[in-house]
Amino acid sequence: MHVHVKRLPLKKLFNTRDLGGLPAEDGRVIKHGKLIRSGKLYKIPQETVDALKNMGVTTVIDLRIYTEQEEDPDTLWDGVNYVHLPVLCTATPGITRERTMKHTMVIESKRIKKEFGNADNYMAEMYCSVLLNEEPQNLLKKALRIIIENENCILWHCSGGKDRAGILAMLVESLLGVPESVIIADYVASHRFQRARFFWNRAGLVIAPCSLRFKKILYGMMAAKPQYLTVAMERVKQKYGCINNYCKEVLGVTDEDIELMKSKYLE
């Protein structure tokens, strides 16, 4: 099934989109103006704030770790419910949350060739780590509970809007019955939306004074290759049968929750 995923044209937000319009269960689609995924809301201009308010965004879930949050705090507005759920996105469970992501990635980059073979394998394992380890699972559980109970428009984001925001989007879309091919199309759209930034970031890394191993992990972190998500989804399905079973057994989602989500978010 071919779906053209569109970004929301918001100034200073390059990877923000409404899940509205994505095909879901029984020929229905996700409602517009209910579920928005994004990158960080750092120093966004007033016109973007006004646009988000006009969309009815009343809850913002920030999935970044504390140092990311402190270095680039979200621009918020009166009346918005801000929820911080710091999901550490590495392939190695147990890395200290107090380190900056840059410091963490330096540590991780030293282990790529030895333990993961290449940066693509590292990225796929990173997604598996978020889905299959207890600490991030507890945070994903809280995020899903907020989405299930939400009555208005909700926005969740990480730093670039690709990894942690993409994993949460995958779970929400799966529960709503979005076909896997469409879930992957939504995920890889991040690369298209940030193509220009990716080009210049990569160009800058070519001359950056850091090791090739570190550059490779940063290249991987900028990309949105389908195998990053599909490998993790297959690992979950091998263990739990399907994504919905995983959500039920690990994240505390019930059949009643799923029906409530569909009644709220599908049309």
Query: What pLDDT shows up at residue 97?
Result: 53
Q: What domains can you pick out in the chain, each with its CATH number?
A: 17-265 (3.90.190.10)
Q: Name 102's Cβ contacts closer than 8 Å, sequence gap at least 6.
A: none
Q: Which of 226, 222, 175, 173 is nearest to 199 (CA)?
A: 222
The yes-or-no verdict on residue 63 having pLDDT over 70 is yes
Report whether 90 contacts 220 (CB < 8 A): no
Between CA 172 and CA 174 the distance in angstroms is: 5
Lowest mean pLDDT among 43-47, 104-108, 131-135: 104-108
**Percent share of the chain, pLDDT over 90:** 70
For 12-59, what is the HEC assignment?
Answer: CECCCEECCCCECHHHCEECCCCEEEECCCECCCHHHHHHHHHCCEEE
Q: Which residues contact 19 (CB under 8 A, 6 or more apart)?
A: 30, 34, 35, 36, 37, 169, 172, 173, 186
Average pLDDT, the chain: 88
| 132 closest CA partner among 227, 255, 251 | 251
pLDDT of 244 over the 60 cut:
yes
Summarised one tens digit per residue, pLDDT across range 2-54 is 788 999 999 999 999 999 999 998 899 999 999 999 999 999 999 999 999 99
List pLDDT tens digits, range 91-101. 766 555 545 66
